[in-house]
Structure 1
Amino acid sequence: MSANTKVSERDLLSEALGVSAATMTLHSKEPLGAGSVTGIEVPGAQNLLYYVDTSQITVAAETGWASEDTRVWMHPADPHLPALASISFDHAATALLERLGFTATSAPEFIAYRPGRRAVLRVAAGDESVWVKIVRPSRVESLVRAHTATADAGIGVPFVHGWSAEGMVIMSAAAGTPATDFAWEPETLLDETDRLRARFSSISWTKRSPGAERRIRWYESREVDGTADLLDSIRTLIGRIDGGRPRTVVHGDLHYGQLFLDDQGQICSVIDVDTLGIADPAEDAAAFAAHAIASARLTDAHNRARVWDLADGALARWGDDPLVRALTGVQLLGHLIAANDRRDADAADQLRASAHAVLDGRMPSTGAR
C-alpha cells in the first residue's frame, strides 16, 4: 500500500498485526525522510510500543514487518539505530561499560528518543552517570568529530569515553548545573548565550547545516488547520530578505535546555553538538527563541513568567533580523504540528497564536501569561 494513500498509521498497523485499530493509542509522530515515523501503543498483557515508518530510508537490516514503502518495528528494535536494542537491557549495558572501566549500578534509563534519529540513555555507575547516545551509523563519526572540534575551541562538552561504528557513543555527564535547574535571570542568560554563539563561530568545521528550507518543505506536506497561513507568512517574510547573508558555525539546535551553568551562572558546557553545522546565525537565535516560547506554557507557574521573559528578551535582542522572526515561525510550526498530532488542541492554538505574533513583529507572551 502506498504511503501516499489516505490510510492512517493505526490502520496500517492494524493490518500488519491483525489487531483492531480502535484499541490503539497514538504515542508520538515525527517527520522522517520522505514521510514520518509514528509511535502507537497496542494493549496486551503489557502495552507494546510499535512504530510505523513511512520514511522510505534504506536500512541495513529490517527488524520487523516491511513492505515497499512502509515498515513496522517494536521498540527498541529501531532499524535506523541498530545499536539501540543492544544497550537497552541491563546485561548488555553492564557488559559494555565494564569494557570501558565502569561498573553499572542501575538499568539503562531512556532520557530522550527520536525514532529513526537518535536516542539518549543514562546509566548510573557508582557516584557518576554514564551517558549513551545512539545515532545512525552513518552519523557517528561526525558526532565524535563535532565533540572534538567543539572542545578544541575551548567550549565545554561531555567527554567521549568510546564509540562504535554501529552508532553508539559513550560519554561523561556535562559539567555544571543544567540551565533548567538554575535560577538564572533572562538577560544574564541571553548575554551568556551570545558569548557562546560567538565561540561557536570560531570552531573549525566544514559540514553544512540543512537549515530551515528542508523543514518548510516537510511542513507543507503536513498541512493542518492554520498552517497554510503561517507558511505563507513565513515565505513572504523570507522573500523580503536580501541574499548574500554571512554563514558561520552554529550549534544547530540551540536552546536553554542544552546549556549547563557554573555557580556564577556562566555557561560552562553544552550538549547535543551533533547538530553542529555551517548556517546563517539566525538559525540558533530562532531555535533558542522558539524553544523558550514552546517551553513557557509547559513550565510550572512559579517559573512561567521568567521563561516568557526569556522568550521576549530573545526576540527583543535578535528579532530585528527578519530571518530570526521567520525561522522562529518555522520552529513554532513544527511544535504546532506535533501538538496537533498529539490531539492537544489548546497547545496547537497557543503555538499558532505565538507564531503569528512573532511573524507580525509582536511579542508572543502578550495575553499568554
Structure 2
Amino acid sequence: MDSSSPSPRNPSTSAPSADPGPPTDLELLTGDGAAELVAGVFSAVGGEVLGWRVRHVDHRPAAGTTAGYRARVRWGDGAVTDEVLGACSGRLPAGVARLSDGRTEIGMWRYPHDPDLPALPAAADPERMRGIVAELGVRTEEPPRVRLRAYRPRRRAVFQVDVPGTTVFAKVVRPAAARGLHARHRAAVEAGCPVPDALGWTGDGMVLLAALPGRTLRARLTGAEPVDLDLDGVLGVLDALPAGLATTRRETWGQQAPHYAAVIAAAVPDLGPRARAVAAEVDHGTVPEGPDVPVHGDFYESQLVVDGGRVTGLLDIDTAGTGERLDDAACLLGHLDVLTYRHPARAGVISGLGTALQRRFEQWLDPPALRRRVAAVVLSLATGPHRVQEPDWRASTHHRVALAERWLAEMNGFSPARHDSLHPGRRS
C-alpha cells in the first residue's frame, strides 16, 4: 500500500518562499499532515500504520471537507489488516474522534462506523444481513455474500447481497432519506419506469432493492464486445420518469457550474481562472433554457442497465426531480466524452455512441444550449480526479477543463477533430 508520509527536504536546495500560512482544511486532510491524523486514530487503539493513502475527497468551499482513506495497520498481536477511515472538517457530527492541529478540529471514524450512515454496520455484516433478507422471505442457512460496491463517506453506500438463487442490493443513506427513497422506487415501478423494485426499508437508513437483468452500459462500453444500443430505449427511459418524482426543483448543471469552478480552483489554483471562465459562460442564471420536466439528475452510462442492445433498467433515482431535459442529455454526453479518455482502447466505440446520441438529442433540443450544458457537466467532472485521488489527478483535471472549453469553442456543429486532438493516435 502506498505511503504518503512527508518526504525529507534539503534546506540548502529549497528556494526561499513566503510563509504560506496555516493549511486549509483541504490541505490538512489530503496533504502530508494527514499522516499524523491517520496514525493518531490507530495508535489510540494499539495499531501501527504501515502505509496509507487518500481514496476519496469531497470538498465544499466554505462548508467543509470530507475525506476517505485506506490504511494498512499492524496490531499488537502481529496481525496486519486493511482498514478504511473517514474524516471531515466543518461542523462535526456526533460520534467521531476529534483531533486538532491547534487551529482546525477534525472528526475521524473507522469504517463501518460512519456517523451519518448508522445502517452501515448492519449492511456490512453478513450475519445481520441474513436476518434482514429473511424478513423479505429470502431464507438461507449460510450468511449471504456481501460485497461493498460503493462508499461515499457521510453520503451513501451500496452493497451487493448474494443469496442462493437471487441477488438484492442494500443502499445505505442518511436515515431521513430512506422512507422517501423507498417510496420513489415504488412510485416509479408502478408508473412503468424500469427502476429496481423497492423491497423494504429500515428506520436507520437502509433501502433494499431488487436486481435488474443485464449489465450497466459502462460495463458494456469498457468491455470487449461490440455495443449495439437501441437509442430509442435511452430516450424512452427518460420519457418514462413519472411526474410524481418531480417534487423538488433541481439546479441545472449550468447553475451549479460556479460551485464546481470553486472546487477546481481550491484543488488546482492555476486552473481557477479557466474554470471560472467556463462557469461564467455556461451559467444561465434564473433564465430557463428548456421546459420543466421530470429529470433523473445524474443520468450517465453507469445508471443505465442494458441486456443485449435493449435498455432494461435505470439506477439511482435519489437525485430525480424537476429540471430541464437538457441536463439529462448533457450529463450522458459529457460522461461519455470523458470516458473515451479513460478507456482509449475503446474510444472508438464510446465516441461512436456519443456521436449518435448527440445527433439524436439535437433533433429535439437546442444544439447550442445542449453544448453549453455539456460543457457544464464536463466542468463538474473535472472535480472527479481529485475527489477519488486518481494517479496523476492534476493532469486529468487539466484535461477535463480543456475538454469543457472545447465544447464551448465549437458551437457550430459536431467536430470529430475535437476528440482526436484530445486522444493522440485515435482515428474517427
Deviation string, structure 1 residues 106-148 (Cα, Å, up to 9, x no partner):
4310111122111110111102111100011121122112212
Query: Cα–Cα, structure 1 residues 36 and 6, in superposed 2: closer, same or farther, change >3 Å?
Result: closer
Q: What's the secondary structure of 1:200's corresponding residue?
A: coil
Counterpart among 225, 247, 267 of residue 292 in structure 2: 247
Contact 1:79 / 1:116 at 8 angstroms: preserved in 2? yes
1:26 match: 54
1:354-369 paired onto structure 2 within 5 Å: 354-361=403-410, 364-367=418-421, 368=423, 369=426
Counterpart among 29, 36, 53 of residue 14 in structure 1: 36
Q: Which piece of structure 1 moves more, 242-251 or 8-17?
A: 8-17
Contact 1:117 / 1:135 at 8 angstroms: preserved in 2? yes
Contact 2:382 / 2:397 at 8 angstroms: preserved in 1? yes
Q: What's the secondary structure of 1:29's corresponding residue?
A: strand
Query: Cα–Cα, structure 1 residues 298 and 105, in superposed 2: closer, same or farther, change >3 Å?
Result: farther
Counterpart among 216, 223, 248 of residue 258 in structure 2: 216
**Shift in Å, 1:345:** 3.9
| Residue 327 in structure 1 maps to residue 360 in structure 2 | no
Q: What's the secondary structure of 1:100's corresponding residue?
A: coil
1:129-148 paired onto structure 2 within 5 Å: 129-148=167-186
| Residue 44 in structure 1 maps to residue 73 in structure 2 | yes
Alpha-carbon separation, structure 2, partners of 1:253 and 1:184: 25
TM-score by length of 2: 0.75
| Residue 257 in structure 1 maps to residue 257 in structure 2 | no
Unmatched segments (≥5 aa) in structure 2 = 1-21, 75-80
| Residue 344 in structure 1 maps to residue 397 in structure 2 | no
Deviation string, structure 1 residues 293-314 (Cα, Å, up to 9, x no partner):
222223372x331112223334
Alpha-carbon separation, structure 1, partners of 2:181 and 2:321: 11
Larger-gyration structure (1/2): 2
Contact 1:30 / 1:36 at 8 angstroms: preserved in 2? yes
CA RMSD of aligned residues (A): 3.1
Query: Cα–Cα, structure 1 residues 5 and 158, in superposed 2: closer, same or farther, change >3 Å?
Result: closer
Indicate the percent of aligned positions where both proteins have the same amino acid: 22
Query: Cα–Cα, structure 1 residues 316 and 355, in superposed 2: closer, same or farther, change >3 Å?
Result: farther
**How many equivalent pairs are there?**
363
Contact 1:14 / 1:21 at 8 angstroms: preserved in 2? no
Query: Cα–Cα, structure 1 residues 287 and 108, in superposed 2: closer, same or farther, change >3 Å?
Result: same
1:37-186 paired onto structure 2 within 5 Å: 37-45=66-74, 46-54=81-89, 56=91, 59=93, 61-65=94-98, 70-102=106-138, 103=140, 106-182=144-220, 185=227
TM-score by length of 1: 0.85
Alpha-carbon separation, structure 2, partners of 1:240 and 1:202: 25
Alpha-carbon separation, structure 2, partners of 1:238 and 1:138: 31
Deviation string, structure 1 residues 287-334 (Cα, Å, up to 9, x no partner):
111211222223372x33111222333444446444433332233223
Query: Cα–Cα, structure 1 residues 283 and 3, in superposed 2: closer, same or farther, change >3 Å?
Result: farther
Counterpart among 205, 209, 212 of residue 246 in structure 2: 205
Query: Cα–Cα, structure 1 residues 309 and 241, in superposed 2: closer, same or farther, change >3 Å?
Result: farther
Deviation string, structure 1 residues 176-207 (Cα, Å, up to 9, x no partner):
44334556756x44332222222226555322
Contact 1:30 / 1:338 at 8 angstroms: preserved in 2? no
Alpha-carbon separation, structure 2, partners of 1:230 and 1:352: 7
